[in-house]
A and B are shown apart, each in its own frame.
Chain A
Amino acid sequence: MMEKREQTKMEVTPRGGFIVVVDYGMGNLRSVENALSKLGYLVVVSRSPQLIKKAHGVILPGVGSFRDCMENLKKHHLLFPLREFIRTGRPFLGICLGMQVLFTESEEFGKSGGMNLIKGKVRQFSQNEQMKIPHMGWNTVQIKKKSPILRDLQEGTYFYFVHSFYCIPDNQEVITTTTDYGVEFASSIWKDNILACQFHPEKSQEVGLRVLRQFTQLCEKC
């Protein structure tokens, strides 16, 4: 099936399993693509609803502002295809801002509505002399619950973070790890086929690649 050039680098839908990294103009997609390619998985950076529909897994990356992110998802008509994809039960991974927009609303700029796939809100860290904002650098995670992409995770593993807002799920049961930055926040969550992490696995060297490898293994089963 032919796709428009501006929609995707690939003109033909790949046979077999592939992962779509959603390209909606927010942040460094190249590193997610590079990491998955290094793991030997077929990855397509695209905003094509047709490709999202056929994907074995979808990754929503992103850094920057919550409202811009939601506006871009709307502008590129991606909200419905993403919801439909998630409804199929195939693996979905949100990274950083891609985790935050899954929530009901953010306190950024007054209030901004999110995708409401996970009930809860997104709040800003409070700045003080000890706590610089953004929360930038390597921080540890404490395990609350094993998830399919954090199966062999050691307590206290370091991941790379860069963000000024954090997620507060209404239901604590979805939290798989927490991280401490003045406040103990949900650094990764898991609900059904929705996986999400506040840290950047694609920037977290070996431990991060292991997370992405486990995600590709989930996708292979679909």
Chain B
Amino acid sequence: MLARRIIPCLDVMNGRVVKGVNFVNLQDAGNPVENARVYQEEGADELVFLDITASPEKREIMIEVVEKTARKVFMPLTVGGGVRNLGDIRGLLKAGADKVSINTAVVKDSSLIQRASRRFGKQCIVVAIDAKRVDDPPNLSWEVYIYGGRTPTGIDALVWAERVEDLGAGEILLTSMDRDGTEAGYDIELTEAVSHLTGIPLIASGGAGTLRHLYDVFQYGKADAALAASIFHYRKYSIIQAKEYLRKKGIVVRL
């Protein structure tokens, strides 16, 4: 049976791993290649690098990080952050990334999804959706944000999720902005809604603080994969601990 995936995420700035809390207050925390190697040894199923480097001229550093990582680590690697066009995608894939995650650029020009998936194959095109709850009870809805969570778009996240599938996305990386950095658990309602509406694999992100949160997002959120950063990065739990817990609770994982 296909296993649910546990995916550690490393935020990378100027070639160094940092971890964001609510998208601000960044702390330096190490070398990306070493981090990746440790996660591979612990049995991570995939790895995500999120490039949060601000200046475009320093983006070349990320290409180097990907090249070095791909020589040491033999598992799927997704790279996202600041990807604007087909050239950026090609550069990352050529450096050794298996998938590229795109957010702002595809909201601004959705035809990029179609063009990228035709050119490189849909399996390597991940659309990242940053979604925030709209405070309008009793109607539950979420709005898509771009530019690292700074800019609201007025787009409904569920409508957008269906649309990116139609345009040829191979996978969705769904982040709850309300939960990101809080360690209060994933947004189960958001995750379940997107999983129900779409037929492509779904990675849930934002809010993992305990192992129970991972269980909930698989069992009730129907996520295919769970992304987490701080709980693994600060060694609160190892990936092996997380998988042993999930297996005991009846979730199919690779151990």
Contact = CB atoms under 8 A, between A and B. Distances in A.
B196 interface: yes
A116 interface: no
A6 to B, nearest CB: 15
A28 B120 CA distance: 10
B124 A160 contact: no
Contacts of A128: 199
B170 A136 contact: yes
11 contacts: A27-B121, A28-B93, A30-B95, A128-B199, A133-B199, A137-B5, A158-B254, A162-B123, A163-B123, A203-B76, A204-B75
Interface string B66-78: 0000110011100
Interface string A104-139: 000000000000000000000001110011111111
A7 interface: no
A24 B224 CA distance: 32
Interface in B198-255: 199-202, 224-225, 254
B196 A129 contact: yes
Q: Which 3 A-B pairs have the closest CB atoms?
A: A64-B121, A30-B96, A158-B254
A31 B74 CA distance: 7
Contacts of A134: 122-123, 170-171, 200-201
B1 A28 contact: no
Contacts of A205: 40, 74-75
B58 interface: no
B187 interface: no
Interface string A27-62: 110110011011000000000000000000000000
A183 B23 CA distance: 43
Say what secondary structure dominates the interface of chain A: mixed
Which range holds the interface residue count of chain A? 35 or more
A137 B96 contact: no
B223 to A, nearest CB: 11
A67 to B, nearest CB: 12
Given A162-B123, A205-B40, A132 B201 contact: yes
Interface in B92-120: 93-98, 120
Contacts, number: 95
B68 to A, nearest CB: 10
Nearest to B5: A137
Nearest to B120: A64
Which range holds the interface residue count of chain B? 20 to 34
Contacts of A63: 121, 123-124
A139 B224 CA distance: 13
A181 interface: yes
Interface of A: 26-28, 30-31, 34-35, 37-38, 63-65, 127-129, 132-140, 158, 160-164, 180-181, 202-205, 208-209
B3 interface: yes
Contacts of A28: 93, 96-98, 124
A168 B124 CA distance: 25
A21 B120 CA distance: 19
B24 interface: no
B1 A34 contact: no
A213 B255 CA distance: 22
Contact of A180 (B1, B40, B76): B1
A208 B1 contact: no
A50 B98 CA distance: 29
B35 to A, nearest CB: 16
Interface in B122-145: 122-124
Contacts of A31: 70, 74, 96, 98
A178 to B, nearest CB: 13
Nearest to B76: A203
Given A63-B124, A138-B45, A139-B2, A132 B202 contact: yes
Contacts of A160: 75-76
Contact of B74 (A65, A138, A139, A203): A203
A73 B97 CA distance: 23
Contacts of A35: 74
Contacts of A161: 2
Given A28-B124, A127-B199, A140-B1, 5 more contacts: A63-B123, A64-B120, A132-B199, A137-B3, A139-B2
B201 A137 contact: yes
A158 B3 contact: yes
B1 A139 contact: yes
A28 B100 CA distance: 12
